Chains A and B, each alone.
Chain A
């Protein structure tokens, strides 16, 4: 899997409500399509995403083939303290991409 892109505000204060936007390139193969020989192309999607901040869970998403290729996800967090985000994308088959980003809390 490719390196994901994450967009956070440049700086935030404790108590702020911030939006987190994430994007990762992935084919999100549904398992419904057939190749030119008529064989079903096996399903291969990112089936789970999670975000933690300073070790606590903030947001999770269970994804199914109805999510478009290159899954985009945005969600919110009320900043509890200074800390670091950990974002995890899990593909069918279990391979993972983990991205850690520190939030600039002023």
Chain B
């Protein structure tokens, strides 16, 4: 990213921008950076993927941009897959990063499903990012994210 040969003298502003960009990109991806106070959803994610690196952006997660009522938020998730015996989506895990319990649901598919797609309604305690992790038959993982602004939170008591 910052190779000395191409930019021997980064000025202060460029340096700050580049350093900032590195910081932002490294925070969610690096498990080391989050050590100590690792949020529950990251622990849950890690227990599912192990050492594998999920590929970002291949899961379609449909959620409203703004949810007026966090008690019932429509959710639809899908992954492009031929759903054959050799190449199919085994499961999609849904996680809410800021709910009291991050796990929301796991949808499990079979080759009979024909299409790796499911819909439901979820609770969101407050404005947060929702994560969908797809587990493929070849052991790979795909990840999708979506932020939902919540006006009135669900899960409250």
Which of A3-11, A51-59, A89-97 participates in binding chain B? A51-59
- The answer, yes or no, to whether B42 is at the interface (CB within 8 Å) is no
Give the size range of B's interface with the partner: 20 to 34
Complex-state Cα separation, A41 to B157, whole angstroms: 9
Q: Are B105 and A56 in contact (CB under 8 A)?
A: no
Chain A at the B interface: SS class: strand
Q: Check B115–A66 contact: CB distance below 8 A.
A: no
Bound-complex Cα distance A62 to B123 (A): 15
Interface check A1, CB cutoff 8 A: no
Is B15 part of the binding interface, using a Cβ–Cβ cutoff of 8 Å? Answer: no
Chain B proximity of A75: nearest CB distance (Å): 5
The answer to the question of B112 belonging to the interface, with a C-beta cut-off of 8 Å to chain A, is yes
What is the chain B residue whose CB lies nearest that of A53? B112
**Known contacts being A33-B156, A64-B101, is A75 close to B107, with CB within 8 Å?**
yes
Q: Which of A32, A61, A69, A80 contacts B107 (CB 8 A)?
A: A61
Chain B residue, CB-CB nearest to A64: B103
Q: How far, in angstroms, from A61 to B155 measured CA to CA in the complex?
A: 20
Name the distance in Å between B105's Cβ and chain A's nearest Cβ: 5
Which of B72, B101, B123 gathers most chain A CB within 10 Å?
Answer: B123
Whether A67 contacts B123 by the Cβ 8 Å rule is yes
**Chain B: residues with CB nearer than 8 A to chain A?**
71-73, 83, 94, 96, 99-110, 112-115, 117-123, 154-157
Binding site for B on A (CB under 8 A): 17, 30, 32-34, 41, 53, 56-69, 71-78, 80
